[in-house]
């Protein structure tokens, strides 16, 4: 069995970070280095996200989840208003569970929920 945190870290967060990097640089005026620091990624990864040279494997399927897009828009707004200084993976995880998005996210990254430990079965 896999832990949800492991799946989140390896398959979901790269998508979230890539999406947020583009939004922070293009809309909020962050430099690539600033975006990299607050998102916990390398500057080169931010550059790849901005140029479209590389996208995480599950980019389209994860971002196709409407509720997740809303969560990310709220995160961008938190950065805009100064309520957030760094991306917190644990808060993303809590939001996925509290909004009931964890099943859709696992499905989007081809992870059967039965093989994930620590997942509440609602």
Domain range summary for the chain, segments of one domain joined by +: 2-112
DSSP string, 70-90: HHHHHHHHHHHTTS-SS--HH
**Extended beta strands in the chain, E state:** 2-3, 116-117
Per-residue pLDDT tens, the chain, 122 aa: give them.
889 999 999 999 999 999 999 999 999 999 999 999 999 999 999 999 999 888 899 999 999 998 999 999 999 999 999 999 999 999 999 999 999 999 999 999 999 998 898 675 54
């Amino acid at each position: 069995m896999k832990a949800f945190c492991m799946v989140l870290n390896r398959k979901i967060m790269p998508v979230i970070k890539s999406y947020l990097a583009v939004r922070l640089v293009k809309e909020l005026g962050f430099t690539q280095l600033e975006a990299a620091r607050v998102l916990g990624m390398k500057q080169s990864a931010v550059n790849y996200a901005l140029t479209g040279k590389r996208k995480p494997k599950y980019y389209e399927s994860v971002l196709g989840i409407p509720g997740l897009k809303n969560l990310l828009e709220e995160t961008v707004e938190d950065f805009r208003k100064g309520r957030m200084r760094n991306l917190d993976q644990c808060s993303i995880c809590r939001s996925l569970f509290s909004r009931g998005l964890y099943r859709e996210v696992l499905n989007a990254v081809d992870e059967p929920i039965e093989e994930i430990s620590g997942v509440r079965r609602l």
